[in-house]
Amino acid sequence: SAVISQKPSRDICQRGTSLTIQCQVDSQVTMMFWYRQQPGQSLTLIATANQGSEATYESGFVIDKFPISRPNLTFSTLTVSNMSPEDSSIYLCSVDLRGRRYQETQYFGPGTRLLVL
């Protein structure tokens, strides 16, 4: 498996501000993903972040609202911009480990709990 950490683990923010969430992996991985989990809901993919290319966003998510960086093979950031209470969610990063022997394909970080007031 991979050890994945996220910072911050939780935060309370005021509407109109922005928060950058960091995701760090203990080994080099090609594919990283960012998901959102709204309260009481399932996980929804925001974007795929591959090193060396622009992030690919899913329908309903735009770069201006959720800019993503992927400067190297072990690190990524997701920014939630101009926040509103509707952005209150858990944000999770995941990595795809396919191709590694005996590895299942995706592992998730511990998540960042965001509350927007």
Partner 1 sequence: GIQVEQSPPDLILQEGANSTLRCNFSDSVNNLQWFHQNPWGQLINLFYIPSGTKQNGRLSATTVATERYSLLYISSSQTTDSGVYFCAVEGSGAGSYQLTFGKGTKLSVIP
**In this chain, which stretch among 19-27, 43-51, 65-73, 77-85 interacts with partner 1, using CB under 8 A?**
43-51
Q: Is 79 in the site for partner 1 (CB under 8 A)?
A: no
- Collapsed DSSP state (helix, strand, coil) of residue 34: strand
Query: Out of 77, 111, 114, 116, which residue is the one contacting partner 1 (CB under 8 A)?
Result: 111
- Binning the chain into helix, strand and coil, the percentages to the nearest 5 are 5, 50, 45
Structural Rg of the chain based on CA atoms: 14
Q: How far is the CB of 31 from partner 1 (least distance, A)?
A: 6
**Residue number, 84 or 105, with CB nearest to partner 1:** 105
